[in-house]
Chain A
Amino acid sequence: MRWWKKVALKKSPWVFHVNAGACNNCDIEIVDCITPRFDVERFGVKLVGSPRHADALLVTGVVTEQVTPRLQEVYRQTAKPCVVFAIGACACDRGIFTPGYHVAGPVDKVIREIDPNAIIAYVPGCPPKPEAIISGIVKALKAL
């Protein structure tokens, strides 16, 4: 990537939230990040309504069989370059739902099916605190 693209991407990551079969705990913590107490807008993070505008996908939840093709379609519609954040223990490696009959796999297995070079960052926790999510975003952007 050219240097100015990289700098601009680090300074203003726009975020789209995808719930791939989560229990909603991680979603509540993600929305908490936008509240005045944690305020991620000072880093330029904005919650957008369409994956085409987004630079980072925040995927929560263990990915079920039903949602797999839809998550892959959302990933394909995100304008590259983009980062996928797997938020929560279920998204990182299925958590307590590992032997479940409806589980298709953790987020990285589902996304690497269609794009082996995807950039994926993991934020574990059940649910991860907003401070953990913010620190995860900042570390992933620094390593970009």
Chain B
Amino acid sequence: MGAVSAEKSKGVWMNALTQNLIEFFVYGFVLTAITGLIASWIVRKVSALVQYRVGPPVMQPFTDVLKLLGKEQLIPEQANRFIFSLAPLVALSSVILLSTMLWRIALHKSTYFAGDVIVILYLLVMPSLALILGASASASPHASIGSAREIKLLISYELPLLIAFVIVLVKATGKLEQTQLLSLAAISGLKPIMSISGFLAFLAAILCIQAKLGLTPFDMAEAETELAGGVLIEYSGPLLAIWKLAQAMMLIAMPLFVVELFCGGFSPSIYAGIVKYVIVLVLLILIKNTNPRMRIDQAMKFFWYYCSPVLVIAMVLALIGNYFNLGWL
């Protein structure tokens, strides 16, 4: 009896393992890579249309990554080879893990464990950390300036993002049970954007995502004309292909996180979810195309002096709304 149940539980465990691996591969890698490269094409096409020109064809980001895979790999002599090669792999793997969790929450609405949103918040930081490490290991003054800017940007926008997340938690306290509070699948059933404090938090989260993705006005780390390529100046060949792929996949993962946190996820149907995601993406693109690049001290002042006080006011409004049971506050 004991032997039979031990075998059965081992069989169940193997099934769960293969199911998780398939989920990783299909959702995390293949689906996110394809949709991420299409999203990066959308960014380039909409930017081109806004600038009154014809943009690249649909397969352009795919051929970009393919071409980079076929080129020679050059590593600078004085660079730290191990960290130099490891950084893009760390970025790619964290984005794969992140998007596996986000897609499963979006499509299946099932949770992993209570508290998985904390893991997602940790994983959101990993690509930026990998960028900083890889740039510092490059042994180039341009890359070190870019990495210093990325560090300063990281300490500026992480706080508003976390405060925005806490505002969502505050608004969710009345409607969710205690155990379900920190699971993204439960949070994505609510729509915090429909209230004043939630809307302010949504705007702040959009700007933080813009900084995290490295889009103008916050692209001073990978500034093309200024820093000759910035953080990624010494990368070439397959490692650069992995960076471009990771950046394209982040274009899917970050707005998806914002949609699930604020706008209610893929709730009525998949089509509504896709429409919500496209609206958030187009908002990011339009902010990208209408703004010049900021200096790093302007960006830090923006996040610390303007964004955070507005979020503190929104938090106060949310607490007042919770106390007096006003849903619209």
> CB–CB under 8 A between A and B in the complex?
yes
Kindly state the separation between the CA atoms of A11 and B59 in the bound complex, as whole angstroms. Answer: 9
Question: In the complex, are the beta carbons of B236 and A52 less than 8 A apart?
Answer: yes
- In the bound complex, residues from chain A placing their C-beta under 8 Å from that of B229 are 48-50, 52-53
Q: Is A142 an interface residue (CB 8 A)?
A: no
Question: In the complex, are the beta carbons of A41 and B64 less than 8 A apart?
Answer: no
Q: Is B63 an interface residue (CB 8 A)?
A: yes
Question: In the complex, are the beta carbons of A44 and B233 less than 8 A apart?
Answer: no
Instruction: For residue B69, give the distance in angstroms from its CB to the closest CB of chain A.
Output: 8
Q: Is A114 an interface residue (CB 8 A)?
A: no
Contact with B along A41-76 (1 / 0, CB 8 A): 110100111101101000000000000000000000
- In the bound complex, residues from chain B placing their C-beta under 8 Å from that of A41 are 44, 48, 53, 55-56
- In the bound complex, residues from chain B placing their C-beta under 8 Å from that of A11 are 59-60, 63, 67
Instruction: For residue A9, give the distance in angstroms from its CB to the closest CB of chain B.
Output: 5
Question: In the complex, are the beta carbons of B64 and A44 less than 8 A apart?
Answer: yes
Kindly state the separation between the CA atoms of A8 and B68 in the bound complex, as whole angstroms. Answer: 9
- In the bound complex, residues from chain A placing their C-beta under 8 Å from that of B67 are 5, 8-9, 11-12, 55
Given contacts A9-B70, A52-B235, A80-B72, contact A42 B225 (CB under 8 A): no
Q: Which of A9, A42, A50, A79 contacts B72 (CB 8 A)?
A: A79
Give chain A's interface residue range (CB within 8 Å of chain B): 20 to 34
Kindly state the separation between the CA atoms of A44 and B41 in the bound complex, as whole angstroms. Answer: 11
- In the bound complex, residues from chain A placing their C-beta under 8 Å from that of B72 are 79-81
Question: In the complex, are the beta carbons of B53 and A81 less than 8 A apart?
Answer: no
Determine the residue in chain B with the shortest Cβ distance to A9: B67
Contact with B along A92-111 (1 / 0, CB 8 A): 00000000000000000000
- In the bound complex, residues from chain B placing their C-beta under 8 Å from that of A50 are 228-229, 232-234
Kindly state the separation between the CA atoms of A77 and B56 in the bound complex, as whole angstroms. Answer: 27
- In the bound complex, residues from chain B placing their C-beta under 8 Å from that of A7 are 63
Contact with A along B181-211 (1 / 0, CB 8 A): 0000000000000000000000000000000
- In the bound complex, residues from chain A placing their C-beta under 8 Å from that of B234 are 50, 52
Determine the residue in chain A with the shortest Cβ distance to B244: A53
Kindly state the separation between the CA atoms of A44 and B64 in the bound complex, as whole angstroms. Answer: 8
Determine the residue in chain A with the shortest Cβ distance to B67: A8
- In the bound complex, residues from chain A placing their C-beta under 8 Å from that of B38 are none
Kindly state the separation between the CA atoms of A41 and B44 in the bound complex, as whole angstroms. Answer: 10
Given contacts A50-B229, A79-B74, contact A42 B54 (CB under 8 A): yes
Kindly state the separation between the CA atoms of A42 and B56 in the bound complex, as whole angstroms. Answer: 4
Kindly state the separation between the CA atoms of A77 and B234 in the bound complex, as whole angstroms. Answer: 9
Instruction: For residue A6, give the distance in angstroms from its CB to the closest CB of chain B.
Output: 9
Q: Is B321 an interface residue (CB 8 A)?
A: no
Instruction: For residue A95, give the distance in angstroms from its CB to the closest CB of chain B.
Output: 28
Kindly state the separation between the CA atoms of A1 and B66 in the bound complex, as whole angstroms. Answer: 14
Instruction: For residue B166, give the distance in angstroms from its CB to the closest CB of chain A.
Output: 38
Within 8 A of A (CB), among B27-67: 44, 48, 51-57, 59-60, 63-64, 66-67
Kindly state the separation between the CA atoms of A8 and B60 in the bound complex, as whole angstroms. Answer: 9
Q: Which of A1, A4, A36, A77 contacts B53 (CB 8 A)?
A: A36
Kindly state the separation between the CA atoms of A50 and B67 in the bound complex, as whole angstroms. Answer: 16
Question: In the complex, are the beta carbons of A42 and B55 less than 8 A apart?
Answer: yes
Q: Is B227 an interface residue (CB 8 A)?
A: yes
Q: Is B237 an interface residue (CB 8 A)?
A: yes
Question: In the complex, are the beta carbons of B63 and A49 less than 8 A apart?
Answer: no
Question: In the complex, are the beta carbons of B236 and A49 less than 8 A apart?
Answer: no
Kindly state the separation between the CA atoms of A49 and B51 in the bound complex, as whole angstroms. Answer: 21
Q: Is B127 an interface residue (CB 8 A)?
A: no
30 A-B pairs with CB atoms under 8 Å apart are A1-B70, A5-B70, A8-B66, A8-B67, A9-B67, A9-B70, A11-B60, A11-B63, A41-B48, A41-B53, A41-B56, A42-B53, A42-B55, A44-B57, A44-B63, A49-B229, A50-B228, A50-B232, A50-B233, A50-B234, A52-B235, A52-B240, A53-B232, A53-B236, A53-B240, A79-B71, A79-B72, A79-B73, A79-B236, A80-B71
- Per CB-CB distance, the 3 closest pairs between chain A and chain B, nearest first, are A50-B229, A5-B70, A8-B67
Binding site for B on A (CB under 8 A): 1-2, 4-5, 7-9, 11-12, 36, 39, 41-42, 44, 47-50, 52-53, 55, 77, 79-81
- With A41-B55, A49-B230, A55-B67 given, name 5 new contacts (CB 8 A): A11-B63, A41-B48, A44-B63, A47-B224, A79-B73
